[in-house]
């Protein structure tokens, strides 16, 4: 096991070839969903193969604030859900607001008396920089008779939240937003039966509504206006909900019907490998590195699985092969005995594939990036070293991520010798033969930009210095340790 790395904010990365086997980190997108579903369920669930990135810790802390309890192991969590408490909070939709308040207050008084503690009316929840956490959480808060102070870090509160605020305005839910926090007074739930949502907004808003609506006392429907982007993330939500006993009727992504009075059911699960993270090492291979990736599902619903199709179009070779777990791989050899039920064991077995990607004749390829914004920065690196022109279009949403990723990609890769032009919603890239290095590049405190630059260093002529390299902790806490294990060379202090 490598020694734990304690990083300075800036590190110097020396060009080196990466090779070996890498177990990919579990999918952050899927893990968020399982944390929320298991916390809303009645009973105990166990989530295996989980990594404690800053985003995942934000979701865990948020659900703790709502009453769920977590026993956190090295790479698994036991979750004690609050499904029984949610049943106590059911609201009669036909009752007046005053009657609803009286019912909820009576239940809160009973809880206070039984605990013999002072009642805490206000709860502070820090979502850190996690867009998934805050957007999945906000609708759920409306059924809890508390006042919530939602705090955040970085650019999170500058990112759009208006779809929820419009719903809160229509529903009479009290909220305030400033540069430091969002204040929400819950307890009312949502009374409408139909919710109109723009398909061009982040799919996280639609997923957030799907977590809440099954708990209401009336049937409801989400109606999509305009074409729905990032469908795969909605698919991940529906799939996860179904595993926890919640049914969502998908009408060709034009609307989603949700039955009332559903209950989340506890279960055990295994989180598959993350294609968003696999994309960095996949592109590294397409640029001449040789990393065999373990743990991703060949039949995954993750939208970023499209990296495989893109790599083929850029000229790389892609294939899956079976592998057996062996003692020399840190892959939880006895996991079948540790998992608690058949379903989660099958989840794990479906990920026993080795993903092999190798360099081919690199050629430019233009595509629409609207459904896969998270992998655009690393694909832009590949396009920079591919013959001909690449245009990545419909990617305006990259401007409102942890950084303005269009600006970051344009600025930092051009420093290295790439030929990139960014527009309002596109990147236009003319391939070059090589990247130079010998410069200071900036991660913009964005985990995906930092990891993209780390991969870029493997094909630079000279070393580069990456500012705020520790930003990788948002999604991949041990990225730099894994990078070194694969042969990457960098200079920093060891803790």
Is 254 labeled as ligand-binding?
Answer: no
Is 360 labeled as ligand-binding?
Answer: no
Q: What order do you get walking across the sheet with 181-185 strand by strand?
A: 122-126, 147-151, 181-185, 175-177
Is 29 labeled as ligand-binding?
Answer: yes
Is 230 labeled as ligand-binding?
Answer: yes
From the list 449, 442, 469, 453, the residue with the least C-alpha distance to 401 is: 449
Is 405 labeled as ligand-binding?
Answer: yes
Is 28 labeled as ligand-binding?
Answer: yes
Is 242 labeled as ligand-binding?
Answer: no
Phi-psi map region of 246: left, alpha, beta (phi>0 left; psi -120 to 50 alpha): beta
Is 192 labeled as ligand-binding?
Answer: no
Contact 438, 464 (CB under 8 A): yes
Where would I find the H helices in 296-370?
306-313, 335-338, 342-349
CA 473 to chain centre: 13
Give residues with Cβ within 8 angstroms of 120, minimum separation 6: none
Is 393 labeled as ligand-binding?
Answer: no
Is 202 labeled as ligand-binding?
Answer: yes
From the list 48, 85, 91, 89, the residue with the least C-alpha distance to 63 is: 85
124, 183, 472 from 121: Cα distances, Å: 10, 13, 36
Using the Cα atoms of residue 154, residue 6, residue 277 and residue 341 in order, give the sign of their dihedral.
negative
H helices, E strands: number in the chain? 16, 24
- φ, ψ for residue 313 (rounded to 5)? -70, -25
Is 300 labeled as ligand-binding?
Answer: no
**374 counts as catalytic:** yes
Using the Cα atoms of residue 479, residue 17, residue 312 and residue 424 in order, give the sign of their dihedral.
positive
- Which one from 55, 347, 374, 468 is the annotated catalytic residue? 374
Is 101 labeled as ligand-binding?
Answer: no
Which residues sit in the known binding site? 28-29, 33, 131, 159, 202-204, 230, 374, 401, 405, 448, 474
Catalytic residue list: 374
Which residues sit in the known binding site for 3-phosphoshikimate? 28-29, 33, 202-204, 230, 374, 401
Which residues sit in the known binding site for phosphoenolpyruvate? 28, 131, 159, 204, 405, 448, 474
């Amino acid at each position: 096991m490598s020694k734990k790395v304690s990083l300075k904010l800036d590190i110097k990365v020396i060009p080196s070839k990466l090779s070996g086997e890498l177990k990919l980190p579990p999918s952050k997108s899927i893990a968020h969903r399982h944390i929320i579903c298991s916390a809303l369920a009645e009973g105990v669930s166990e989530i295996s193969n989980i990594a404690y990135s800053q985003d995942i810790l934000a979701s865990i802390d948020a659900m703790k604030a709502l009453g769920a309890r977590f026993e956190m192991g090295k790479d698994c969590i036991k979750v004690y859900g609050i499904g029984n408490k949610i049943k106590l909070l059911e609201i009669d939709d036909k009752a007046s607001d005053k009657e609803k308040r009286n019912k909820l207050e009576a239940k809160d008084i009973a809880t206070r008396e039984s605990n013999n503690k002072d009642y805490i009316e206000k709860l502070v929840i820090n979502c850190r920089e996690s867009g998934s956490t805050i957007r999945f959480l906000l609708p759920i808060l409306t059924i809890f008779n508390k006042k919530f102070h939602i705090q955040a870090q970085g650019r999170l509160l500058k990112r759009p939240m208006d779809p929820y605020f419009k719903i809160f305005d229509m529903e009479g839910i009290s909220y305030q937003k400033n540069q430091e926090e969002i204040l929400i007074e819950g307890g009312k739930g949502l009374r409408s039966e139909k919710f109109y949502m723009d398909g061009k907004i982040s799919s996280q808003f639609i997923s957030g509504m799907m977590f809440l609506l099954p708990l209401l006392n009336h049937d409801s429907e989400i109606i999509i206006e305009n074409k729905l982007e990032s469908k795969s993330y909605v698919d991940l939500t529906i799939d996860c909900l179904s595993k926890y006993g919640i049914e969502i009727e998908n009408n060709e992504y034009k609307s989603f019907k949700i039955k009332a009075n559903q209950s989340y059911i506890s279960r055990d699960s295994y989180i598959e490998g993350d294609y968003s993270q696999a994309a960095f090492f996949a592109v590294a291979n397409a640029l001449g590195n040789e990393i065999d990736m373990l743990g991703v599902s060949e039949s995954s619903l993750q939208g970023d699985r499209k990296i495989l199709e893109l790599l083929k179009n850029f000229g790389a070779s892609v294939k899956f092969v079976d592998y057996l777990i062996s003692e020399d791989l840190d892959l939880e050899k006895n996991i079948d005995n540790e998992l608690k039920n058949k379903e989660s064991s099958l989840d794990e077995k479906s990920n026993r594939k080795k993903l092999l990607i190798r360099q081919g004749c690199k050629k430019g390829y233009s595509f629409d990036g609207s459904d896969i914004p998270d992998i655009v920065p690393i694909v832009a690196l590949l396009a920079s070293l591919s013959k001909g022109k690449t245009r990545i279009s419909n990617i305006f949403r990259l401007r409102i991520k942890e950084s303005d990723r269009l600006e970051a990609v344009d600025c930092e890769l051009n420093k290295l010798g790439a030929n990139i032009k960014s527009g309002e919603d596109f990147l236009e890239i003319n391939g070059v033969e090589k990247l130079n290095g010998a410069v200071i590049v900036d991660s913009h405190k964005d985990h995906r930009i930092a990891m993209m630059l780390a991969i870029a260093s493997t094909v630079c002529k000279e070393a580069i210095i990456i500012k705020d390299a520790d930003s990788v902790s948002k999604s991949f806490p041990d990225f730099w340790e894994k990078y070194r294990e694969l042969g990457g060379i960098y200079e920093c202090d060891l803790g």
